[in-house]
Amino acid sequence: MTQPRFQVTFRDDHVPAAPAGLYELVLDHTVSGGEVGSDSFPTARQNFEIRAPQFTLDGSFVQAVHPVPGASGAFEYVLPHITLRRLILPWERALVVNSPGLPWMALLVFAEGELPEDTKAQGHVRSRTVKELLGTTERGVLVPDIGLDEVPPELHESDCATIDVPGDVFAAVVPGLSELPHLAHVRKVKDWQAARVRGPAREELEVGDFSVVVANRFPRTAGRYAAHLVSLEGFAPYLSTPPSSDATVRMVSLAAWSFEAVPDARGHFSALVRDLAEDPAGLGLRLNPVSQARLGAERLALGYVPVAYGLVSGECTFAWYRGPFTPSVAQTPPKPGEHYEHADEALVYLTDVGVFDVSYASAFTLGRSLALSDPTLSAALTAFRGRARRIVGRALLRAEEPTRSGRAAEASALLSEHPARDRFHALLADGLGSRLHTAITVTAVADNQTRARLRPRRGGVPRPPGVPALRNSVLDKGVLGQQLAEQVEPLVTAADQVRLLGATPLSHLVPDARMLPPESLRFFHVDPSWCSALLDGVLSAGVSTSVDAALNAVLRERISVDEQRLSGMLMRSTLVRGWPGLIVEPFTAGGELLEIVRRQVIGSDVLLCLFAGVPDEVVFREPHQGIHFGLDEDDRIGLRRLVGEVGAPLGQNFPADGEGFGRFLRPVFANGTPELLDVTALVPAMAEALRVADQLDEGEDLSPAALAVQMVNAPQRISFTPEQ
């Protein structure tokens, strides 16, 4: 088994050896013996202070938040959270004496209208000095119970961000003392390959140790929400006994942002994907027959559709058409030659029914139209033909008088722009320089021997090939391909999208809209013969001479239809528009991930993918959004293992089937939407479910880290098995 790319570990907390505050170190000496006076060893005292953030938080301490500031989306299953770079920060100050695992901060989420100074939930705060905050005399306003003498003097005039929370909102939204430990934990990230792992969006997983503070509210009401990381220091009594509803609680906001909750009109990811496969037998790209006529049903099953067809004689009839996407592997059609030269050559007459199959003729005609209409392809084809014609024309003129091309009247030399220079370079590469040097510097005897070797051989100079032979060799596709390689490359790039059907209209790919209805998924094979006919049509544009035909042979060698079998899928669904980062993974039976050679969104809701090969399984994954916490889309939690392979799915849901998660939610106000998590009710109930599943020992409580493991939202993964 291969080691995973990175590992995420949760811990309950990271409590410092001593919380922030003023300390006095006292050193006493105790000496026994009557002769030693007590004044000889006076007591030593040393005052010192452990400081930690209290009224402000440096922005560099915030590693990430979720949802991101300004986000707009469906967050009804998400608990917002903030990730902090300072590992000990949530436990760095003492909220209650001798309660080291109790965090002194909480992430509160407020909806529109809940904060009087931020009715639109924009995340606004009011700036006050620390002295003004702690020394307020406003009636009915509760401030942190922190004496000004407990604060370093240099902080008295420093600014801090504050929010005023009505007493009834405070009582509903702020977690109780018993809930706080489960709303903060430590996250340790170890990456085996690199320093960072970033998904398509949202939070970056950075190697290191971080603290995480999680909110207790699911944003389920349409509208804006403001998230505030607040200090609870000085408010401990009110976490057990809430203030009166007419009071105002003035709190320090250490970090704030806002986002918008929009009800998910798209539907939920897993439900939409499952709906695509309601009819497993309908995953092939074909029309369902409406009658039992054998011939018609057979054609429809192969992916054909009937189309109107006008004969040369003027009569109107129908023909069968099928695009390049077939529900089964297509058979190779008969051809008059290696390639089609005209569209009529690609017509297939079906003698059993007396009509034509116009599939390949349509592909040829489409290719010709694309070559004439696509500016990039047309320009590349015109430039190649013009350049190649000049080179070949010059070579043919040289072939009429072979002596003009030098001693070697070869096709490659004739095609060269500078044949004499190229021949001279070839002689140098063949050792001409060393032979001349030897001929000049050897002794007289050796010189005579060398001269003898340099004398022409008996029989004279070989006769050059005749003009017809030279003309034929110049037009040989192997010779042309070698000499015109540089000129061919731009056209190869331009024609590559044609080969991968990049410019083919959707109406040619899916000739009948009923083959791809709304909320449907279709798998297919790609017919290489159809693609070859399309390419033949492209190359037929501008052909007028035998030279053009020879050049086409060169182009077909370089722009050949891929011999590897291609397959693909078409999806028409809200998923395409709602999840543009949808992850598609085609696998073979052996687990090999196939390459997606083309991925394109057509219109607003159609996704086309072409695979390099035929997959045995296609997996759809919800786009990664980093680590966040909450429920699954069915308002339940998929339990995970706490023993053995920690984090692996347990195969059980919480609450169990038939039970609702609603009993763990409460509204802010009466008759409101239940969206506040009752942690005191959730933790023991989930612990009992995990004990039954042998993931917790009898009497063992659910720790903050274990709760984090259960509440992590993992992207959905659903697989399909296409027809072979």
Sign of the CA dihedral running 165, 171, 172, 176: positive
β-pair type (72-73, 248-261):
parallel
β-pair type (159-166, 126-129):
antiparallel
Alpha-helical regions (H) of 358-483: 359-373, 375-400, 411-415, 419-429, 432-441, 444-454, 467-474, 477-483
What residues have CB less than 8 Å from 56, skipping those under 6 apart? Answer: 158, 159, 160, 161, 254
- Residue-level pLDDT at 709: 95
Of the listed ranges 6-10, 12-16, 470-474, 587-591, the one predicted with least confidence: 470-474
In angstroms, the Cα distances linking 261 to 70, 71, 220, 234, 627 are 10, 8, 7, 32, 19
- Residue-level pLDDT at 659: 73
Q: What amino acid occupies position 275?
A: D
- Residue-level pLDDT at 460: 46
Among candidate residues 359, 378, 358, the one with its CA nearest the CA of residue 368: 378
Q: What distance in Å separates the CA atoms of residue 617 and residue 607, rounded to the nearest whole number?
A: 18
- Residue-level pLDDT at 524: 94
Mean pLDDT of the chain: 82
Q: Using an 8 Å Cβ cutoff, are 250 and 140 in contact? A: no
Q: Using an 8 Å Cβ cutoff, are 532 and 361 in contact? A: no
- Residue 232 corresponds to which tokens in the numbers above? 């609870």
- Residue-level pLDDT at 262: 86
Q: What DSSP designation does 77 have? A: T
- Residue-level pLDDT at 695: 95
What residues have CB less than 8 Å from 574, skipping those under 6 apart? Answer: 266, 267, 272, 519, 605
pLDDT, greater one: 149 or 408: 149
- Residue-level pLDDT at 405: 44
pLDDT over 90 (residue 656)? no
For 667-680, give one letter per residue: b (16+ CB within 10 A) or e: ebeeeebbbbbbbe
Q: What distance in Å separates the CA atoms of residue 188 and residue 211, rounded to the nearest whole number?
A: 9
Burial (CB count <10 Å: 0-12, 13-18, 19+), residue 467: middle
- Residue-level pLDDT at 441: 65
pLDDT over 90 (residue 226)? yes
What own/partner pairs with CB < 8 Å and gap ≥ 24 does 580-584 have? 581/200, 581/201, 581/623, 582/607, 582/620, 582/621, 582/622, 582/623, 583/619, 583/620, 583/621, 583/622, 583/623, 583/624, 583/715, 584/609, 584/618, 584/619, 584/620, 584/621
Partnered with residue 186 across adjacent β-strands are: 11, 211
pLDDT over 50 (residue 2)? no
Q: Using an 8 Å Cβ cutoff, are 339 and 536 in contact? A: yes
pLDDT digits (tens, 9 = 90+) for 48-78: 888 899 999 999 999 989 888 998 888 899 9
Q: What distance in Å separates the CA atoms of residue 76 and residue 262, rounded to the nearest whole number?
A: 9
Please state the φ and ψ torsions of residue 676, each to the nearest 5 degrees.
-95, 130
Mean pLDDT of the region 531-559: 79
- DSSP-assigned letters across all residues of 336-362: SSSS-SSGGGG-EEETTTTEEE-HHHH
pLDDT digits (tens, 9 = 90+) for 358-393: 999 999 999 999 888 888 788 878 877 777 777 766
- Residue 158 corresponds to which tokens in the numbers above? 């420093």
Host H or E run for residue 299: helix 294-301
Q: Any idea which residue has 């430039």 for tokens?
A: 383
- Using pLDDT thresholds of 50, 70 and 90, give the confidence band for residue 264: low
pLDDT over 60 (residue 271)? yes
pLDDT over 50 (residue 87)? yes
Peptide bond into 334 cis (omega under 30): no
Please state the φ and ψ torsions of residue 497, each to the nearest 5 degrees.
-70, -30
Q: Using an 8 Å Cβ cutoff, are 217 and 677 in contact? A: yes
- Residue-level pLDDT at 185: 96
- Using pLDDT thresholds of 50, 70 and 90, give the confidence band for residue 162: very high
- Residue-level pLDDT at 285: 82
- Residue-level pLDDT at 297: 82
pLDDT over 70 (residue 148)? yes
- Using pLDDT thresholds of 50, 70 and 90, give the confidence band for residue 701: very high
pLDDT digits (tens, 9 = 90+) for 301-338: 899 999 998 887 788 889 999 999 999 999 888 887 77
Among candidate residues 169, 170, 146, 147, the one with its CA nearest the CA of residue 238: 170
Among candidate residues 588, 590, 534, 586, the one with its CA nearest the CA of residue 561: 534
- Residue-level pLDDT at 455: 53
pLDDT digits (tens, 9 = 90+) for 567-583: 999 999 888 887 788 88
Among candidate residues 599, 616, 605, 538, the one with its CA nearest the CA of residue 576: 605
Q: Using an 8 Å Cβ cutoff, are 467 and 409 in contact? A: no
Sign of the CA dihedral running 516, 519, 520, 526: positive
Q: Using an 8 Å Cβ cutoff, are 571 and 600 in contact? A: no
Peptide bond into 655 cis (omega under 30): yes
Among candidate residues 187, 180, 18, 16, the one with its CA nearest the CA of residue 104: 180
- DSSP-assigned letters across all residues of 501-543: TTT--HHHHSSSGGGS-SSEEEEEEE-HHHHHHHHHHHHHTT-
pLDDT over 80 (residue 277)? no
pLDDT over 80 (residue 594)? yes
Rank 336-350, 373-387, 390-404, 555-569 by mean pLDDT and report only the highest.
336-350
pLDDT over 60 (residue 604)? yes
For 480-502, give one letter per residue: b (16+ CB within 10 A) or e: bbebbeebbebbeebbebbbbbe
For 134-170, give one letter per residue: b (16+ CB within 10 A) or e: beeeeeeebbbebeeeebeeebeeeebbbbbbbbbbb
Q: What amino acid occupies position 224?
A: R
pLDDT over 60 (residue 80)? yes
Q: Using an 8 Å Cβ cutoff, are 90 and 102 in contact? A: no
Sign of the CA dihedral running 21, 22, 25, 26: negative
Mean pLDDT of the region 159-164: 97
Q: What distance in Å separates the CA atoms of residue 555 and residue 548, rounded to the nearest whole number?
A: 10
pLDDT over 50 (residue 650)? yes
pLDDT over 90 (residue 217)? yes
In angstroms, the Cα distances linking 419 to 410, 423, 476, 533, 551 are 10, 6, 18, 38, 21
Of the listed ranges 187-196, 207-216, 662-671, the one predicted with least confidence: 187-196
Among candidate residues 343, 357, 344, the one with its CA nearest the CA of residue 304: 357
- Residue-level pLDDT at 196: 44
- Residue-level pLDDT at 33: 67
Strands of 199-294 (E only): list them: 205-206, 208-214, 223-231, 248-261
Mean pLDDT of the region 80-102: 92
- Using pLDDT thresholds of 50, 70 and 90, give the confidence band for residue 400: low
Question: Residue 363, Cα to own-chain centre: how many angstroms?
Answer: 34
